[in-house]
Structure 1
């Protein structure tokens, strides 16, 4: 039997935990109203005596709220919902919010309504009420091809049953476990010290490094060449030049990464240096954990383990299913 590996501990002073693809935290608005000029959208509430039945059968999102409907699709989306209600005889309508619902408020609503999740621009977010008075252990079970599962524990009570809780879609090969209030302080891209790293690697890394004068990095770095601690503007301009070189037809084959000194950069530095590809940093008075899936991107079923009284014991993410 495989032995659980401890990845770290999470603290959640607000009592409301968020689990999602950590690479998408750039989208997180916290207590602010989401404001994306390039992708304007509208949020709706389904209201009326048959709101829940209409929401369940319409089956676009979880619960009676529909978030991030693209502005260009609102008219068609509304008409489709109205036709659905007429067809099934539901007394329900869509009520548009005056402004989009902040992501922190989406967490509060989902927890209060006992809804297992919501979306942020199509990205699944799983919020859950957890103990606020103690650290929460995050562990993983090794499998043949990576982690078999990952688990965050809320109680040491014996598990009596397990329920399907939801599903996490991941495009950046990483999970984040974070306090919902703390995420309002998260800086995903903006450098905390005004600096950034620019690194490169790949088949033709020596050639590109020579062309651009990129120094060789130390043995402790996760890549061979690049610049560290550059002023953010200089790093960005160099990155544009390197991107142009990479995109030239018949040009050298290599990859590069622009790494502003943000919270994301801090925790990913710990992840890269960790034997188990997990790291913990403190943000907004809470310990936040980032952990790689070990199997890349995908959709991962999530189960809620409960005790004999139906109270939550742990949340478990199934990762690598083995035959």
Structure 2
């Protein structure tokens, strides 16, 4: 079981993860005084975060890996999206509080051909005003897709027979609050401690944001 407590982002007011607790399914074997055991520390990673058992993480497929099921998603957006929709079609897809046009679960060859057609669209005089993405079905993309409609940007998928949870940090909040990550000391301690039922729990807390204290942990 994974639990999250939230706090409002100091930048846009939406809920953001402030505390993560992960039940490990093991009895507490720490000190008699129940003092937390420090495991290390973690940053809020701009490349997102994955929580799962070791066999799943060993099997994880990320960006650049070939599609694991022979399928891909195609999306496009930007100032000329409506003109492209008249030419190519595509359904509205909600992704993290914004909408794009596109197609889900296309055979890989068809997705690549459609992506090429969009890139070579003769009516494309807009340059960077029209953006196209062909996302092959890797575990990374499947997790991202599972998080598209979640208010905390988290998504659960199965990898190698194990459940895996991904956290997709808001880019704006990350760049303002957590910029610099480990090289600049922006890390937060992860501990083992007893849970509510006496089981061992991993605990990770992001302290409240204090304006003007950019280097504070």
**TM-score (normalizing by structure 1):** 0.46
Determine whether 1:147 maps to 2:16. yes
Query: Aligned in 2, Cα 1:224/1:250: closer, same or farther, shift over 3 Å?
Result: closer
Equivalent in the alignment of 1:257: 133
Equivalent in the alignment of 2:206: 318
For the 8 Å contact 1:152–1:314, the answer to whether it is kept is yes
Distance in 2 (alpha carbons) for counterparts of 1:304 and 1:288: 19
Determine whether 1:235 maps to 2:102. no
Query: Aligned in 2, Cα 1:217/1:282: closer, same or farther, shift over 3 Å?
Result: same
For the 8 Å contact 1:306–1:313, the answer to whether it is kept is yes
Equivalent in the alignment of 1:170: 45
Query: Aligned in 2, Cα 1:317/1:241: closer, same or farther, shift over 3 Å?
Result: farther
Deviations 1:117-169 (A, max 9, x none): xxxxxxxxxxxxxxxxxxxx241322343425231334797974575823436
**Structure 2 SS opposite 1:264:** helix
Query: Aligned in 2, Cα 1:320/1:258: closer, same or farther, shift over 3 Å?
Result: farther
Equivalent in the alignment of 1:180: 54
**Structure 2 SS opposite 1:296:** helix
For the 8 Å contact 1:214–1:227, the answer to whether it is kept is no
Which of residues 172, 178, 191 is equivalent to 1:305? 191
Structure of larger gyration radius? 1
Deviations 1:203-230 (A, max 9, x none): 22112333xx321314x64334223332
**What is the alpha-carbon root mean square deviation over aligned residues?**
3.5
Distance in 2 (alpha carbons) for counterparts of 1:243 and 1:296: 31
Distance in 2 (alpha carbons) for counterparts of 1:291 and 1:224: 21
Distance in 2 (alpha carbons) for counterparts of 1:151 and 1:285: 23
**Higher RCO (CA-CA < 8 Å; seq separation 6+):** 2
Determine whether 1:199 maps to 2:75. yes
Query: Aligned in 2, Cα 1:306/1:234: closer, same or farther, shift over 3 Å?
Result: closer
Structure 1 segments unaligned to the other structure (5+ residues): 1-8, 10-136
Structure 2 segments unaligned to the other structure (5+ residues): 195-199, 212-217
Equivalent in the alignment of 2:197: none
Give, in angstroms, the shift of residue 289 of structure 1: 0.2
Query: Aligned in 2, Cα 1:216/1:306: closer, same or farther, shift over 3 Å?
Result: closer
**Structure 2 SS opposite 1:234:** helix
Deviations 1:225-276 (A, max 9, x none): 2233322123224324544669x87536022222223323322222012232
Give, in angstroms, the shift of residue 288 of structure 1: 0.5
